[in-house]
Amino acid sequence: MKTVGFERHDHDTCQALTVRAVEAHCKREGLQLTPVRKRVLELLIEDHRAFGAYEVLGRLQEEGLGSHAPAAYRALDFLVAQGFAHRIERLNAFIACSHPAEQHAPAFLICRACKSVVETPGVELGSKLEAQADTVGFRIEHAAIEAEGICPNCASEDA
């Protein structure tokens, strides 16, 4: 067990399940989960934190899976497009999706002290936002809901 997000959980299982789910999804959809793409997904899941594109690139370089910026961006773009990862605008960074498979409008809590990022269910928020957009005739295609602050772990350390 290791600390992930604000809590501990059985991470090995979590990772294995997610990767298998993604593999199945790609097979169904006729998508190619190539070695680079799969490895980037694993990286994101392993630490369960936000990675910058160049941080991902660094890992790919170490492992001989790519050497230039586009390699990382292409893999990340694929994962985001398929909903396996999310882009955190505030951080210019990427994180594995905590609830793949499910349809969801995610919201993120970003700790400015420890940099941890937690995905919280944003369904209600999403529908509220959509309702507001409707009233002015705006059609939402993608929503980013990101809150920055202090997570419970860092808050208790302060005290």
Partner DNA sequence: TTGATAGGTGTTACATTATATCATATCAAG
Partner DNA sequence: CTTGATATGATATAATGTAACACCTATCAA
Q: Interface with DNA by CB under 7 A: which residues?
A: 31-32, 34-37, 52-55, 65-71, 73-75, 78, 92-93
The nearer residue to DNA, 70 or 152, going by C-beta atoms, is 70
Contact (CB, 8 A) for 70 and 27: no
DSSP code of 103? Answer: -
Smallest distance from the beta carbon of 38 to a second copy, in angstroms?
28
Specify the residue for token string 């790609």.
26
Q: Which residues bind a second copy (CB under 8 A)?
A: 6, 89-90, 107, 109, 111-112, 118, 120-121, 124-125, 128-129, 132-133, 136-152, 155
Specify the residue for token string 């993120």.
108
The nearer residue to DNA, 91 or 123, going by C-beta atoms, is 91
Smallest distance from the beta carbon of 69 to DNA, in angstroms?
4
The nearer residue to DNA, 125 or 145, going by C-beta atoms, is 145
Q: What are the φ/ψ torsions at residue 10 (nearest 5 degrees)?
A: -80, 95
The nearer residue to a second copy, 31 or 145, going by C-beta atoms, is 145
Under 8 Å CB-to-CB from 104, ≥6 apart: which residues? 121, 122, 123
φ/ψ region of 120 (left if φ > 0, alpha if ψ in -120 to 50, else beta) reads beta
Map 108-130 to HEC letters.
Answer: EEEECCCCCEEEECCHHHHHHHH
> From the list DNA, a second copy, none, which binds 34 (C-beta under 5 to 8 Å, kind-based)?
DNA
> From the list DNA, a second copy, none, which binds 69 (C-beta under 5 to 8 Å, kind-based)?
DNA
